[in-house]
Structure 1
Amino acid sequence: MTFIGLKDSIENIIFDLDGTLWDPMPMSIKAWHTALNGFDFIKNPISKEDIQGILGMQHDLVGKKLFPYLNEGQQAEVMNSCYVQEVNDIKESGGVLYNGLEATLKILGEKYNLFIVSNCQAGYIEAFYEYHGLGAYFKDFECSGNTGMSKTENVKMVIERNTLAKPIYIGDTLGDYTAAEGNRIPFIYAKYGFGEVPKAEYTINTIEDLKDLF
């Protein structure tokens, strides 16, 4: 890992959330099992692999992938129940923060403005902030659950409404890389997350590697 040539070109850092700042899997599996138990037309139990396969996907496309045998109305009903349960579970017990996250955010926040853009549902980021007490580190956030738009468009929205100069995006999936490319901004690949980004120029193996940006 090296950030040579990158440090001087950064003033603002935009983060993905799942697989970048925390591991939501234990929380998500529990929440989805709870929610899906309420529907007798779900054919198969949801698995860890199923949920891993949709991490980073735009939230309103998930139902089509996981439940193709349901009609659109049923998909929407099921996904809404799962999403509501996730937000409730985050508020009650949170998720698994990556080691050194808050210390890293504190250090980065002394030099850079920090933001979050995620493909999650509405209320998810707020619940993350609320339970873990991390909201003060971030200047703004956006998600597909609020806008119905792609991550590329939401990153652009955060850049424009905050008039960000020299932003960078940090994430763990190919979709994150595509969002950075679509906005013509540098990208750092969080290799410890859930995706594969073979073309990433910059890579971190832990969230704490970002301290080297300071």
Structure 2
Amino acid sequence: MPILKYKHLIFDLDGTLWDPRSTIIGIWNDVLHEHQLIERELKPEDMNPYMGLLAKDIIKDIVSGISDQKVQEVLSNIIAKEKKSCVPVAVSCTGC
């Protein structure tokens, strides 16, 4: 595999260039429904207060009284689905 040389790499870790909420909310809804933990679907804006927090803490807040073991199970399912749907992408731009 050839080694590509780039002058610059852009990392968007805070959602400035790409808002991950609309992408991941479907996965969270699917998993939380599969585990029968929510009655209504979450909307992207429902995640606003949680931006920057750990996923396990978000789950604990969304599902009150959930056990640590169930949190780990749900989180494992979410991570597995996110890995399948989110493909890492690097975009080359000549002259940037």
TM-score normalized by the length of structure 2: 0.64
**1:59 Cα shift?**
3.3
Measure the CA separation in 2 of the matches of 1:87 and 1:31: 11
Which has more strand, going by share of residues?
A: 1
Equivalent residue in structure 1 for 2:49, among 34, 46, 53: 53
Aligned-residue identity in percent: 26
Equivalent residue in structure 2 for 1:89, among 81, 85, 90: 85
Measure the CA separation in 2 of the matches of 1:43 and 1:23: 23
Contact 1:31 1:86 in 2 (8 A): yes
The residue that corresponds to 2:22 in the other structure is 26
Amino acid at match of 1:133: A
Measure the CA separation in 1 of the matches of 2:56 and 2:79: 11
Structure 2 stretches lacking a partner, 5+ long: 1-9
Measure the CA separation in 1 of the matches of 2:50 and 2:76: 15
Amino acid at match of 1:54: Y
Equivalent residue in structure 1 for 2:90, among 120, 133, 148: 133
Measure the CA separation in 1 of the matches of 2:25 and 2:61: 17
- Give the direction of change, closer, same or farther, for the CA distance of 1:79–1:53 in structure 2 (3 Å limit): farther
Structure 1 stretches lacking a partner, 5+ long: 1-13, 92-129, 137-214
Contact 1:35 1:82 in 2 (8 A): yes
Tell me the C-alpha RMSD between the 2 structures. Answer: 2.8
2:1 matches 1:44: no
Measure the CA separation in 1 of the matches of 2:79 and 2:51: 13
**1:15 Cα shift?**
5.2
The residue that corresponds to 2:6 in the other structure is none
Measure the CA separation in 2 of the matches of 1:50 and 1:15: 25
Per-residue displacement from partner, 1:114-137 (whole Å, max 9, x unpaired)? xxxxxxxxxxxxxxxx2x225x8x
TM-score normalized by the length of structure 1: 0.33
Secondary structure at the aligned position of 1:22 is classed as coil
Count of residues in correspondence between the two structures: 84
Following TM superposition, the consecutive aligned residue runs of length 4 or more in structure 1 with deviations greater than 3 angstroms are: none
